[in-house]
Each structure stands twice: as structure tokens, then as C-alpha cells.
Structure 1
Amino acid sequence: MLETLSRPVIPGFHASIGGRVQGDGVEALDVDFRAMADGDLLASAALVEEMGRRVDSLRVAVAGEIAHRSRSGLGTDSLAARRGCRTAAEMLRRVTLVAGATAARRIKLGTLLRPAMSLTGEVLPASFPQVAAAVEEGVLGMDSALAIVSGLSSVVRRVGDGAVAAAEVELVASALGLCERSDVEEGAVEQGIPATADEIAEQAKVWGSYLDPDGAEPSEERAMKRRSFSRGVERDGLVYGTYSLLPEIAAKFTRLFDACLSPRTAGVFLDAPLESDADAPADTRTPDQQRHDVVAAMVDTFARSGEAPTIGGAAPTVLVSVDAESLRSGHGVGHIDGIDTPVSLRTIKQFSCAGGVQRVVIDSDGRIIELGSPQRCFTPAQRRAITLRDGGCVIPGCRVPAAWAEIHHVVPDADGGPTHTDNGVLLCWFHHRSIDTSGWEIRMSRGSPQIKAPPWLGGSGRWLPAGKSPTRRSRELRERLC
């Protein structure tokens, strides 16, 4: 039975670890966090984490011992093999019911922190003795410990144990918030602010680069060979794929996402009437969905930039087909060239609204008997004019810039709407795709767009000027001040 480790008492919190095991499980702790004051609640969170670190030290130690007794060199005599498991991780999963990733983390840390044994039977120190001691004492969490050993393990073979030992001491001290006092006797320390596990991971990377400045080059060479952007299978209306980006490419993506999705830029384009009456809607998209929509806008922008490589002498164009009867009735599906998954009529309408329509008549034998000219395509000059007028997606609160937006026909072509600047407004990919279902209404008044918020936003129901053109906003501000 484990020795009881009593902890300091917080008002309303009475608990201890170990020595409280009954026949039917662990005795329940009598804790009511709902009745605690804020300060006690936060203190309890810190105390619970301290208790967890002590339990984790035992978890890591037992996982390391299981891994040692299941090492491959023992063959069929290993503990895992004798219990019918292929690996120590599999056996630990079955015994503890934890996820595979959790078992692997415990085994990795436990193996590195377990004291080694020489051929003569002499007990050798652990690979990372400072980390091992801090984990055993319950003052260093498993996340921070893993960050340290993972960051330093990759360089220890190239730079030697001495240099890594110095880095280990510094990282453990940072994680515990310990720092030397230069104004008192040598070796004295004072309590500072402990670093979080994420901060320790970043510090470990810096130490690794400092100790082994040339070590990144072979890693980059391997990364160059493994970089990829692959298209996977089509399933459930989506095309699944994977990507492995080089760090500098991922950084560029991240900055673009930050520019478009950062909440700090929200509302900067709103006119005063819109701020008070329409209010920028809360974005219901998940972060992953928002990033998808940013990528969609980036692809469209590059395709029409004029700098993309041509295909057969023309700009890269996605062909979307639908038969005339489905288009007239509003029922049925369309097909995108090169994609097996059918798409809805709503997708077809968005494609035709943004990219235009070309009528092709095919007889019953499959022969093309009529080929019309492309229609409903806004010219580059029209797009520039609309961009100057609207300044970006006209939906309040949307931060997608004008260059990334599509042009929406306010009055559809089927209803007689012309392809004219008086009938086109800028919408981002997402708001264009959802304009028929979101509740936002758009109309043109003497060639100027107006917008009305959907009922679920609780707006006044009034039509308000739309657009984010800085020139127009400056003019309106001058008019209000005069």
C-alpha cells in the first residue's frame, strides 16, 4: 500500500493521495468546487495539479519499469511477450485503459528517467538526472519533463553529456521558477515565475539550436524530401488530403490566417450606423472552417491574378456542368471536372454567379450542336470599379480583403439581372456560398449597395449603406461633421 501523502488544506478541500484504497476502488474525495470563492478555487486548481504531478511520477516510474522488463532483447521472456502483448505500450494500454499516445509518452519519459544498470551490475544515473529528481519529487509535470528530454535527446550524441547537462539544469530551473541571486552568496536561489510546459518546449528548442547550430541542416534536408501536399479520397461530400509543410511555408500560411481571422481586426470597417444597428454577426464557423475559407479565397485570387500558369493558352478554369432541365427546375446535381462527388445546385449557382456561364447544347447522340459565348463574366475593368466602391466583402464584420472576394450578381441572371457594376457586389467565398440561407439581404440603390441584417441578429430591419471603401467613409464622415 502506498504511503499517504497529506496535502495542505484549502477551505472546503480535504484530500490526500495514497493509502485510501478500498476494496471497491479509491475513496471519493469530499470536494464541492461550486461553493468555493474565486481565490480558493484557483488555489485548489494548483493543489490538484500538484497532486497529479505526484501521481504522474509514479505512473512514469511504473511505465519505465514495464518497458525495461519488456525490452526487445529479452525475446519471448519479456514481460509483454509472456502476457501475450506485442509491445510494452500495448500491455500498458490494456492494464491502464489509457490511450496509446498517453502510454507512449509515459514509456518514453519513464525509460529516459529510469536509472541504468552497467554490465557489472552497478547502478548508473538516469540519462537526465535533474529531470528525474524533479519528477520524482512531484514538482515537475510530465509535459514539461517531456519537453526537456525531447528537446535535448536529439543533440546529446553530437555535443556530449556535459553541455546537455548544463542545459538540463537551466531548463529545470526555468520550469520550477528558480533563479540564482547575484547579489548574495554563490549558489543562492530565489523563487521566480515558473514557465509553462509550452514555454519550456520553446526554450528547449532554443537550447538545442545553441548547442548544435549545425544540427538543423540535416533535419532540413530530410524535411525537403518529405514535404508534400497530397489529395486524398472523396468521401461524404469532402475531398480529404494531407500536407507536410516546410516551416517557412507554414509560417506564411499562419500570418495570412492571422491577418484574416484575428479578432483584433474585427469591426474596423464598420460604419457607425452598422455598428449600432446591424452589429457584426458572431462567426459561427470553427477555426478550421475559417482557415478552409481563407484558403478558398487565396486559391481564387491566384487563379484570376494573371500570374498563374495557363492551361491550353487560357487561365486555369474549373469546369462545372449541369443539364438545362435541372438548372430550370432547381432540382438535381451538377458535376465538377476531375471530381467524382456530385455538387448541389447551390454550388452550381455560386460558380455561375462568380465565374460566368457558357451554354453548350449536346444532342441525344452526344454531339455538340451549339456552343454559345461565355456570359455573365465581369470584366477586369468592372471588377476594379466595384473594388473601389465596395472596399471588400460587404457583409459587416467580414475582414476578407477586396482582392480575395468574388463578385455576386444582386439580381440573378435568371431574373433578368445584368452583368453590370450596378448589379455586382463583393462577397467573400463563404458569404457568397451562404447568401441564400444566411438571411442577409442585399439590394442596389442607384448603383450603390445596401444591406439588411437577418432577423436572428435582432437588427432594426432597415436598409443600410454597405461597403468599406475608405474614400466613401471619409466623405460620409466629412458630411456628418459639416
Structure 2
Amino acid sequence: MRLAVQVAVQIAHESRAELGADSLSKQAGFRSPVQLIAATTGLSAGDAAGLVKVGEATAPRTDLVGQRMPAKYPAVQAALSSGALGAPAASLIVTFLDRACVGQEAGKVAEVEGRLVNRAQGLSLDDVRRLVKSAEAVLEESRLEAREHERRAQRSATMFERDGNLHLNLITPIEEGAAIKAAVDGYVTAQFQARKDASDAGEASVMGEADTDRRTVAMMRADAFTVFCTHVLGCEAEKTTLAGATVIVRVDAGDLQAGVGHGSIDGADQPVSIAAIRRMAASGAVIPCVLDSAGEILDFGRERRLFTRAQKLALVERDGGCAMCGLPPHMTKVHHIRWWQRDAGPTDLANGILLCETCHHRIHDNGWDIRIDNPPGTSKNSTGKNGTGKNGTGVSARARVWFIPPPSIDPTRTPRLGGRARYDIAA
């Protein structure tokens, strides 16, 4: 991949505009170096442009008197050269830094670059995108509110009929669309639960073929809009069943009081400004989760088996959703690290972890270990095999969740970072 980047930037250099008809790309019959690279490598034009961008940002430079200078982004260059970072991930980081570094101090940009490169190693491209979104809150915090106003001015909803179908296209800022997403996802979750309950009860075997629910997720989402709009128009249904349809906004108490900083919405990557959070707090469907504020007691020891909703909200602050694969909170359940029956594990926060059903079974069935490292002054560390661990009380948003693969997957059993810290540039 490093060689591909070097070749791409050299092709771009030999095809620069001032060469005119003598440029390499024009001599080869292409209008631009991006088209030449895309045609010869089989990449899309966007991926080819990414290679050129990364190459230009990591190539050695010279000043006006011809003296050599380091690359524009030396940390990206070093990671790319060593193979620790791939070109697609490097392209995401470079694109963000090019946009965000305007007006920023060079030292701050270099610090964020180093942290991004270090944290991006070993992550999927989708996870790198989430990491870059987290970095926006560091370099572009002062611009968040202005960009929210820009996005709000771009909101639109279009409707038209074609071939007997109504086509909808909705664009809305994330701080307003979060309620829509939570409601629709809640409806879909409820439908899947109803399908599972029917299967468990043996109803599927006696139901007719036409009555079997074979809807896809996309179909269920479409049905959700129909159900919600029909309900608003005055249908006879007394209640629309939703599962986990709550918008949770997280913000530091000091930032909220001072009116500075930023916050986040569970299930969304885009950071939001304090002004947007204050607007959202006026909605009855939004629960503001102010960190470090007094709240109800969250630890219940062995007095109850199931974790409460308040406990789940607290764990979302640490885990962000499924601590292993990153699915949003409403698609997870709180599971005991030390099993309730086998290990007599307590229903305490230090013994809880958010997992989706798939990851829960993977951990139980395949021999994964879990380790939770809490910062000094908080609860004790919790480690466990197949979900076993040491007891403790409380939970810290700064805690780190580690998943340790079984020897059959990784003979070195190198821990893999999970939870919210995986995507948090400040963690």
C-alpha cells in the first residue's frame, strides 16, 4: 500500500497542470491523474484521489530555497511506511486534518494527528471514521454551533409518487434526527422481539405462510413511518410499541453550566454543541445525562437479578453501546461479567457490560475474557473468563473495557480495546 501511495503521488506530480499537453496523464489519454490511476489500478475515482491526497501529505517537501522539510503529516507518513496504517484510513485522517487545521496552532494539530494515528491502528475503516468524528470535538469545537446552523439551513423533506409508491427523502440535522432514528429503531427492535416471542411460543409452526413475518429491516422502517403518521392522524391505537426509543444526550456538568464545550448523542458519531443540547433538552423524549451529578442508587448487589434502566444508562457512558462490536445502546442488554448463577455475580455496575446478543454468545461460547480497567480512585478492576470477574461497585466513564481473545484466535492473547474509549480521541 505504501508503494501504491508513492506511485500515485509521482503520477500526480508528472501530471501537474503546468505541464500542459506534456503531462503524463494527458499523454496516456486521460484528463487527470486521478482518472489514470483509477483506470490502471481498478480503483474508484474517489479512492484514487485519496491515494494522491495521502501521497502529497506524506511526501518529503522543500522550502523556497530548496532545503528539505519533513512531510506535512509526519505521523501519518511513519505509520504508512511501517504498514501500521492503510491508505484508506490515512486518507480519512489527512482529509480531516486538511479541513480542521485552518486557523489552528501547529502544535495542537500535530498532537491530534499523533493521537489519531496511534488510535486508528488496528481499527476498521468505519471505526476510523468514528474516531475522526471524535477528533472534530478537539480541533473544531468552536465551529460546531456554526456548522449546526449550516446543516439546519440544509434540512429538507421531499415526497413524490412514482409507479404506485410514495418516495420520501429526508435530510435533517442529527440533533433533530436523533428522535426519528430512536423511534424507528425502537419500532424495528419491537417487531423482531415479537417475531422471536412468536417463534419461542411455537406459533410459527401453526401460522399460515401468508401470516409469517418475513419483512426485512428496510421494510420494517418503512412500516414504522406509516404506523407513526397514522397514529398522529388519530387512529384508534392507544399506544405504539417501541423498544428503547429514547434519545440520550451526554454532556459534562461544568460545560453545560458554562455554556462551552460539546456533548454527544447516543448512537450518533457527530458531536453537538452546548447550544444544540440545550435545545434538545426542551423535548420530552430526550433524557439529558449530566455526568458527575447526583442520581439514584445504581448498585443492588444480589437483591435483584436484572439490571435496571438507570444502570444501563450509566453503563452506556462507559461502553457506548455494545462494548465489543459497537452496535447502538438500544440493540444491547446488560450482561453479568461474573455470571449470576454459576459465579454468584452481583447485579452491580462493576459487574455489568453492554453486549448485543451475538457478541454475548461469542464471549460465552468461544472463551473470551473481559477486563475492565478503572482509573485510580474508582471501583476495582474487573476481569473474567467467559464473563467471570472480581466484584466492585460503581462505574467510571473513564474506565477501559478490554476483550482478550482465546488462544485459538490469538496465541498471544493480546487484549483488544472495546467500549466508548475505542472511538474517543481524548481517551
| TM-score (norm. length: structure 1) | 0.44
Say which structure, 1 or 2, has more relative contact order (CA 8 Å, 6+ apart).
2
Rg (Cα) greater in structure: 1
| TM-score (norm. length: structure 2) | 0.49
